[in-house]
């Protein structure tokens, strides 16, 4: 089945230690998104790629970076995680153009110790 | 700017009762509207979407929503709640690949 895959599902990192979260998709969608979701809150868009074009949200901290080496993969890098970065990180994709519904992966829950 | 407001952060219904989750939108252009469901420690699953076709939209799991332009609303309903419907529900509006979510409504279903 076509899907959005996130690895790992649970990630523990230490304060200040760089961490990378991974997302892959078999949908061949043009757009890939990263969201941060804290407990009992709505997902908050960090950034998205439309093909190779990177679009950063204005209030996304510089501590968060992203890479999309090819259509299928997208990575979220947190350069120096703080305790406030503990959250669920959701990857989503959409075809783009007029087909705008987003398909979400299962998420990676990040714990910062 | 596009935005949605979900009225009621928590809704509790009895099994078999009507489910009504409220969503109002604000949009300067005809909106694309969505309802997503999220189970604990899972991603979001699309329930249904409105993209300017029929105003009554049917989705998965027996849910439906009606787009009412005069009321700027897109409320989600289900005639008879099931225990498995207990989850967090998010209304969202999208424009130009930019999706904005409401704060969410947690649905509890009592036996």
Phi/psi at A100 (5° precision): -105, -5
The closest CB to that of B46, out of A98, A101, A107, belongs to A101
B53 inside 8 A of chain A by CB: no
pLDDT above 80: residue B30: no
| Alpha-carbon A48 to chain mean position | 8
pLDDT above 70: residue A99: no
DSSP state of B80: S
Asked whether the beta carbons of residue A104 and residue B34 sit closer than 8 angstroms, the reply is: no
- pLDDT for position B99: 85
Burial of B56 (0-12, 13-18, 19+ CB in 10 A): exposed
In three-state secondary structure terms, B40 is coil
Residue pair A33/A48 in contact (Cβ under 8 Å)? The answer is yes
Give the CA diameter of chain B: 42
Q: What average pLDDT does this structure show over B41-50? A: 92
Asked whether the beta carbons of residue B42 and residue A107 sit closer than 8 angstroms, the reply is: yes
- pLDDT for position B29: 76
pLDDT above 90: residue B67: yes
- pLDDT for position B53: 75
Q: Chain A, 63-92: which have a CB under 8 Å from a chain B CB?
A: 88, 90, 92
Chain B residues in contact with A40 (beta carbon < 8 A): 104, 106
């Amino acid at each position: 089945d076509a899907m959005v895959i996130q690895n790992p599902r649970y990630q523990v990192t230490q304060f200040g230690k760089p961490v990378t979260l991974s997302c892959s998709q078999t949908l061949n969608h043009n757009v890939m998104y990263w969201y941060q979701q804290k407990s009992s809150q709505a997902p908050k868009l960090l950034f998205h790629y439309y093909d190779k074009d990177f679009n950063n949200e204005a209030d996304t901290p510089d501590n968060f970076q992203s890479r999309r080496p090819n259509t299928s993969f997208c990575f979220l890098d947190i350069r120096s995680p703080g305790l406030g970065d503990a959250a669920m990180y959701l990857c989503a994709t959409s075809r783009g153009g007029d087909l705008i519904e987003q398909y979400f992966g299962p998420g990676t829950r990040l714990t910062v110790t | 700017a596009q935005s949605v407001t979900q009225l009621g952060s928590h809704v509790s219904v009895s099994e078999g009762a009507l489910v009504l989750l409220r969503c109002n939108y604000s949009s300067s252009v005809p909106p694309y509207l969505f309802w997503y469901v999220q189970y604990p420690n899972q991603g979001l699953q699309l329930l249904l979407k409105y993209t300017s076709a029929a105003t009554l939209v049917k989705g998965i799991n027996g849910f439906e929503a009606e787009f009412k332009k005069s009321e700027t609303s897109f409320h989600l309903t289900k005639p008879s709640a099931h225990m498995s419907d207990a989850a967090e529900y998010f209304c969202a509006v999208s424009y130009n690949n930019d999706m904005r979510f409401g704060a969410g409504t947690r649905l509890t279903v009592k036996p």
